[in-house]
Amino acid sequence: MTTTMTNLAARAAGASKIYGSGDTEVRALDDVTVAFERGRFSAIMGPSGSGKSTLMHCLAGLDDLTSGSVYIGDTELGSLSENDLTLLRRTSVGFVFQAFNLIPTLTARENMVLPMTLAGTKPDEAWVDQIVTTVNLADRMDHRPSELSGGQQQRVAVARALASQPDIIFADEPTGNLDSRSGAEILNFMRNAVDDLGQTIVMVTHDPVAAAYSDRVVVLADGKIVDEILEPTADTVFDKLKALGD
């Protein structure tokens, strides 16, 4: 049991998130228990309002639960102060948002190492260089976000998430704003980060094609986990979702 515990990058136990009360009560998460293993690329899927984003936000310490508990590694987030949560995000969690991932006044490189400079720690230069090479952005690193294309900006965002070697990376619709070619680039890159660099990624998406890049898809509907697909393909995911819609 202990070994499996440490093998988990993040997990939720009996997690519920309720907005409002009485007639207007909305159960965004309804007693969800799920775990994400290290070194794997997981996807969370579901229709709009299924609670997939809420689950991710709670797992990442950006939002708190109404009941239940979430863990990053062995750390239970509910017991942490606001400041401790911030420090945890800084060191143990990486983020890629759908849009607006970069601080416009900082260069790509400064954005990439931002969590570390905020912590006042020195980035591992060799590791940073390796990532920069992998995302193929070496010649763009001194540019400001406004001088980068949307795809390039997302690549910098992923690079930032990787740069601090966090325990887990959460990606919220990372390809939602990109054309299919740029999207494929980002997804390939995340796939490689897991396979070659041993990173752990949890991605929220509603796109079956994107989900097909992952090792495992957790499907949510109405705040509950309704299905799980291992080794997904775009077709299997599409079929499952279609079945949900029916």
Partner 1 sequence: MLRHTLRSITSNKARFLLTTLVVVLGVTFVVASFALADSLRDTFGQLSADVNEGIDVQIQAIDEFDVAGQTGNNLPVPASVLDDVRQLDGVNNAAGGIFFFSTFPIDGQGRSPGGQDLSTAVNFSGVQSLDKLVVLAGEAPVGPDQFALSPAAFEEFDFEIGNRYAIESTATGRYEMELVGEIRFGLEDDASLGGILVTFDNETAQLVSGYEDSYQLIGVEGEPGVDPEQLVADIQAILPDGIEAITGQQAEEDFSESFEVFIGPFQTVLLVFAFIVLFVSTFIINNTFNIILGQRVRELGMLRALGATGRQVRGSVVGEALIVGIAATALGIGLGLLGALGLKAILEAFVGDFPSAGVPLRLRTIIWAVGLGVGFTVLASLLPAWKASRIPPIAALREEISIGSRSSRARTIFGVVLAIVGIAAAVGGLTGSGGVQATLSLLGFGAAVIFLAVAILAPLFAGPVVSFLAAPLPKLFGTPGAIARENARRSPRRTAATAIALTIGLALVTLVTVVAASLKQSVNDTLESAVAGDFVIFADGGNGIPPALADELRTLDELDAVVRERFETVRFNGEITDLEGSTMELIEEVVRIDVVEGSTAAGDPARRVAISTEYAEEAQLGVGDFVPIEFAEGGMADLEVVAIYADDTWYGDRFLDIAVLDEFGSNRADGDFLLSLAEGVTVEVARPAIEAALGDSPLAGLRTREEAIGEFQGFIDIILTMATIFLGFALLIAIIGIVNTLTLSVIERTREIGLLRAVGMTRRQSRKMIRWEAVAIALFGAVLGIILGMIFGFAIVEAVPDDFIGTLVVPWVRIVFFLVAAVLLGMVAAFLPARRASKMNVLEAIAHE
Interface with partner 1 (CB under 8 A): 57, 62-63, 82-83, 86-87, 89-91, 95, 97, 100-106, 110, 114-115, 117-120, 160
Rounded Cα–Cα distance for residues 188 and 147 (Å): 23
**At its nearest, how many Å lie between partner 1 and the CB of residue 171?**
13
Which one, 84 or 195, has the nearer CB to partner 1? Answer: 84
DSSP assignment letter at 161: H
**At its nearest, how many Å lie between partner 1 and the CB of residue 220?**
18
**At its nearest, how many Å lie between partner 1 and the CB of residue 2?**
29
Which one, 169 or 212, has the nearer CB to partner 1? Answer: 169
Question: Which residues lie below 8 Å from residue 81, measured CB to CB, with a gap of 6+?
Answer: none
Distances (CA, A) of 219 to 109, 144, 189, 242: 36, 37, 23, 12
**At its nearest, how many Å lie between partner 1 and the CB of residue 160?**
7
Residue closest to 215 by CA, chosen among 235, 200, 197, 196: 200
Rounded Cα–Cα distance for residues 43 and 242 (Å): 17
Question: Which residues lie below 8 Å from residue 142, measured CB to CB, with a gap of 6+?
Answer: 107, 108, 109
Rounded Cα–Cα distance for residues 18 and 65 (Å): 8
Which one, 42 or 98, has the nearer CB to partner 1? Answer: 98
Which one, 7 or 121, has the nearer CB to partner 1? Answer: 121
**At its nearest, how many Å lie between partner 1 and the CB of residue 238?**
28
Which one, 206 or 209, has the nearer CB to partner 1? Answer: 206
Which one, 91 or 236, has the nearer CB to partner 1? Answer: 91
Question: What H or E segment, with its residue span, contains residue 221?
Answer: strand 216-221
- Is residue 242 within 8 A of residue 236, CB to CB? The reply is no
**At its nearest, how many Å lie between partner 1 and the CB of residue 77?**
14
